Amino acid sequence: MSEVAVLTRHLYKSYGKGKTKLEVLKDLDMTVTRGTIYGLLGPSGCGKTTLLRCIVGRLQVDSGNIIVLGNRPGARGHEVPGSLVGYMPQEIALFNKMTIEETLSYFGRIHRMSRSKRKSRMEFLLQFLTLPEADRLVENLSGGQKRRVSLAVALLQEPELLILDEPTVGVDPILRERIWEHLLRITRQLNSRTAIIITTHYIEEARQADKVGLMRNGRLLAEDAPNNLMNLYKEDSLETIFLKLCHADQNTYNLDPKGENQKPKKPTMKMVNSAHDPAGETTPLLQQDWEDIDAFVQTPQQKCHCLFGLPSPRNIFAQFLKNITFMKRNIGFLLFQFILPSIQIILFCVCIGNAPYGLKMAIVNNETQGLGQLFIRELDNETIDKVIYKDMNAALDSVRHGETWGVIGIGQNFTQDLFQRFTNISGVDNQTLDGSSVQLYLDTTNQQITLQLQETITSSFQAFSEILLKTFNLNPNLGQLPIKVNDPIYGSKDPNFRNFIAPGIILSITFFMATGLTTLSFVIEKKEGLLDRSLTAGVSAFEILLAHVFTQLFVLIVQVTLVMVFALAVFEVPYKGPLIWVILLVLGQGFCGMTLGVIFSAVCEEESSAIQLALGSVYPMLILSGIIWPLEAIPEWLRYVSICLPQTYAAEAMRCVLSRGWTLLDMPVWRGYLVNTAWSFGLLALAGIILKIKS
């Protein structure tokens, strides 16, 4: 029984759901023996790759049983996926920015090979597969050379099960022959326990296999030694036999227009080396019917019910080294990552929070002589660019035409009415009050400009009235509003919007940079099949995630340091508290961002990029609402959604540390840290779970 390397029974696998459901494997039975080569043949799209991915444990079957090397793929402690299996996928799936040596070392580490073993295997494979120098970058190799490196990766640890998906495509005939020679040598060795499954489009090439499985529409039409099949069908070409079987299979379907055969029933007859006449044969020709699949499980432990095993430091280290190599080779991109958040914070500080200046205002002074002129002189020249008009209508037209932001009008009797207003307090009428007022006609479409103009004109009037009061030997403070603003308890007398929003912006920049970069690197790895290859080699999704976090942490620290230098030193955002707590908060945000990035890239396949779009657009809105505007000004239902996000708490905590100089004993700061940390680890766990489920 231990001679069986791979056994599949009643295997069903489909992609999609509902109307788009595509049944790829249908009641597939397959038996691969140790020490043999199994050629899996079939037309494009018949399900070969799907079957191989189920065998290596990268795809879950819908129903049916698979036993690989004595246990179910993915069973706890069973190294399938892992070192027991060498898998060469159809796509190249290699790290372009790594050299051949680095690639083989990376997989060698994952397979726990010693340095000397790695070296000797590498030397052998380089020579055997006629690979170029080991220090050549994969991206600079030809297509055929890349395929050979991919094959070298599969052969590296001398696995007990070698699965090669079209290894000879794009390989010259001489090398193809050598590859077959090598595969035959592996299986022909005395007491060889290595089984090889190979798919190929070159059907005749598979004659050298010990057994071939002819596959069509997700089923095996026949499974036997090539010679047996040729004797049985009295043909000397596998291709002709395959065509015959396909035609026979096609006829079965044609005879069954209602599609009752769409789900083929388990064949009742198993024919091996029988003298059965194949003419008109329509039932799959299979070798044996082993119903008691559990008899092939060598270890009682079957399915792994745990979500995570303990992460292996070795695998994390291998991933970490790989990530570092990537960074080294993409130094331009790395520098760009370093400075991008700084560019963002510089632009933010330069553009946001400054007072508007040079605002064009139309001035109409209807007085020929008097105090009107004095008031106009007192208007702040930096904020207001005065454009003098003689006629009120022309001045109002200038606002209507967008040439000025408003009109400041002084009436004919301004000086006289002003004296009346101050000296005859008990008898002053509304007309006099009106005449002594500066008339404003504003374009209020821009709130910031309107507020700035109102504030400038009000303070200019106070300065003007102080001069006036002094002239009459009166206390100049009489002109002030009877409200005295004392020194603030926290913050400055002149609070500015930039300082208020800076903590939130710093956190958001860090958060979204980390999300974006993580999504990018994971999506690239996934798209190129690298993630899949690492997972098949036995690295867990959680180990990949942890290694990424460690590498990205380095980038994050540089980013955060630069951002802090610009925000606090160059643009002088005030800070009182211990800087280390601020830095910890920002790093926490980066960590959150990273984990969200992993979730994005794990959840969002192309078809579900709508989710990515939705999350990516709604989430920032919630964050911004929580950090740009005071929570007290947000509708209550949204307020609670916003404050559930760690950015809001973190921004609050950061503002406290920066401007109040509070210590960790303060409630808002504690809350900030706690929520931030809980959220980060919550997301990390979620990312791990999603990756695990997805993989």
Ligand X SMILES: Nc1ncnc2c1ncn2[C@@H]1O[C@H](COP(=O)(O)OP(=O)(O)OP(=O)(O)O)[C@@H](O)[C@H]1O
| Least Cβ distance, residue 56 to ligand X (angstroms) | 13
Token reading at 50: 């799907």
* Residue from the set 50, 432, 465, 601 that interacts with ligand X by CB under 6 A: 50
Segment interacting with ligand X, rule: CB under 6 A, options 43-51, 246-254, 530-538, 559-567: 43-51
Question: Does residue 313 interact with ligand X by CB under 6 A?
Answer: no
Element (H, E) at 456: helix 447-471
Write out the two tokens for 66.
Answer: 């698979």
Of 37-45, 407-415, 543-551, 558-566, the window that binds ligand X (rule: CB under 6 A) is 37-45
Least Å distance, CB 50 to ligand X, is 3
The residues, ordered by sequence, that sit 6+ positions from 428 with a Cβ below 8 Å of its Cβ are: 420, 421
Stretch that binds ligand X, among 14-22, 110-118, 133-141, 348-356 (CB under 6 A): 14-22
By CB under 6 A, is residue 379 in contact with ligand X? no
What is the closest distance, in whole angstroms, from the C-beta atom of residue 691 to ligand X in the complex?
A: 17
Out of 17, 18, 19, 44, the residue judged to bind ligand X by CB under 6 A: 44
CB of 242 to ligand X, least distance (A): 14
| Of 253 and 422, CB closest to ligand X | 253
The answer to whether 148 contacts ligand X (rule: CB under 6 A) is no
Please list every residue from 62 through 101 that binds ligand X, using CB under 6 A.
90
Q: Does 45 interact with ligand X (rule: CB under 6 A)?
A: yes
User: Among 15-23, 248-256, 289-297, 529-537, which window interacts with ligand X (CB under 6 A)?
Assistant: 15-23
Q: How far is CA 659 from CA 622, 651, 653, in A?
A: 24, 12, 10
Question: CB of residue 221 vs ligand X: minimum separation in angstroms?
Answer: 14
Residues 222/245, Cβ–Cβ less than 8 Å: yes
Quick one: angle between helices 667-694 and 646-655, nearest 10?
150
Q: How far is the CB of 540 from ligand X (least distance, A)?
A: 21
Of 49, 150, 432, 465, which lies in the binding site for ligand X, with binding defined by CB under 6 A?
A: 49
Token pair, residue 566, equals 């610009």
Query: What token pair was written down for 80?
Result: 């399938």
Please check whether residue 517 is in contact with residue 337, taking contact to mean a CB–CB distance below 8 angstroms.
yes
Q: Which of 5, 7, 41, 47 binds ligand X (CB under 6 A)?
A: 47
H or E segment at 410?
A: strand 406-410
Q: Which is nearer to ligand X, 403 or 605 (CB)?
A: 605
Tokens of 443: 């374009």
Strand partners, 387: 362
Pick one of 9, 26, 48, 329: the residue that binds ligand X (CB under 6 A): 48
Distance, CA of 636 to CA of 138 (rounded, Å):
56
Q: By C-beta, is 531 or 657 nearer to ligand X?
A: 531
Query: Which C-beta is closer to ligand X: that of 44 or that of 426?
Result: 44
Q: Which of 243, 325, 238 minimizes the C-alpha distance to 521? A: 325
**Window 266-285: contact mask with ligand X (x via CB under 6 A):** --------------------
Identify which of 457, 456, 467, 371 has the alpha carbon closest to the alpha carbon of residue 420.
371
The distance in angstroms from the start CA to the end CA of the chain is 30
The reply on whether position 329 binds ligand X by CB under 6 A is no
* Nearer to ligand X among residue 92 and residue 582 (C-beta): 92
Which of positions 524-553 make contact with ligand X (CB under 6 A)?
Answer: none
Candidates 42-50, 176-184, 386-394, 418-426 — which segment interacts with ligand X by CB under 6 A?
Answer: 42-50
Contact residue for ligand X among 5, 6, 24, 212 (CB under 6 A): 24
- Using DSSP's 3-state secondary structure scheme, residue 389 falls into strand
Shortest Cβ 451–ligand X spacing (Å): 56
Nearer to ligand X (CB atom), residue 436 or residue 601: 601
Cβ atoms 246, 79 nearer than 8 A: no
> Which residues lie across from 99 on neighbouring strands?
137
DSSP lists the bridge partners of residue 407 as 362, 441
Residue 532 C-beta: closest distance to ligand X, Å: 11
Instruction: Indicate the SS3 state at residue 407.
Output: strand
Q: Which is nearer to ligand X, 58 or 148 (CB)?
A: 58
Cβ proximity of 577 and 663 under 8 Å: yes
Q: In 3D, which of 325, 343, 401 has the Cα closest to residue 138? A: 325
Gap between the Cα atoms of 594 and 556, Å rounded: 10
- When the beta carbons of 46 and 318 are compared against ligand X, the nearer one is 46
Q: Which of 15, 308, 333, 497 binds ligand X (CB under 6 A)?
A: 15
User: Measured from the CB of residue 588, what is the shortest distance to ligand X in angstroms?
Assistant: 36
Does the protein bind ligand X through residue 691 (CB under 6 A)? Answer: no
Beta bridge partners of 215: 220
**CA distance linking residue 354 with residue 350, whole number of Å:** 8
Verify binding: residue 695, ligand X, rule CB under 6 A: no
Least distance in Å: CB of 38 to ligand X?
Answer: 15
Least Å from the CB of residue 60 to ligand X: 12
Please check whether residue 352 is in contact with residue 576, taking contact to mean a CB–CB distance below 8 angstroms: no
CB of 520 to ligand X, least distance (A): 22
Q: Nearest approach, Cβ of 218 to ligand X (angstroms)?
A: 8
Question: Which residue(s) pair with 38 in the sheet?
Answer: 197, 211
Question: φ and ψ at 164, to 5 degrees?
Answer: -120, 115
| Dihedral pair phi/psi, residue 214, rounded to 5° | -100, 115
Mapped onto helix, strand or coil, the DSSP state of residue 662 is coil
Q: For ligand X, how many residues bind (rule: CB under 6 A)? A: 13
Helix (H) or strand (E) holding 451: helix 447-471
Pairing of strands 37-41, 211-216: parallel
Only one of the segments 39-47, 235-243, 261-269, 312-320 lies at the binding site for ligand X (rule: CB under 6 A); that segment is: 39-47
> Quick one: residue 27, left, alpha or beta (phi over 0 = left, psi -120 to 50 = alpha)?
left
Residue 485 contacts by C-beta under 8 Å, 6 or more apart in sequence?
A: 493
Least Cβ distance, residue 686 to ligand X (angstroms):
23
Pick 75 or 171: Cβ nearer ligand X: 171
Rounded to a whole number of angstroms, the minimum distance from the CB of residue 313 to ligand X is 33
Bond into 81 cis (ω within 30): yes
User: Would you give the DSSP letter of residue 71?
Assistant: B
Distance CA 115, CA 505 (A): 47
Q: How far is the CB of 259 from ligand X (least distance, A)?
A: 18
Q: Which of 1, 22, 388, 478 binds ligand X (CB under 6 A)?
A: 22
Nearer to ligand X, 50 or 415 (CB): 50
**Side chain identity, residue 89:** P
For position 46 contacting ligand X by CB under 6 A, the verdict is yes
Residue 431 has φ and ψ, to the nearest 5°, of -65, -40
C-alpha span between 166 and 153 (Å, rounded)? 15
Q: Toward ligand X, which CB reaches closer, 218 or 372?
A: 218
Stretch that binds ligand X, among 47-55, 151-159, 174-182, 529-537 (CB under 6 A): 47-55
Binding site for ligand X (CB under 6 A): 15-16, 22, 24, 42, 44-50, 90
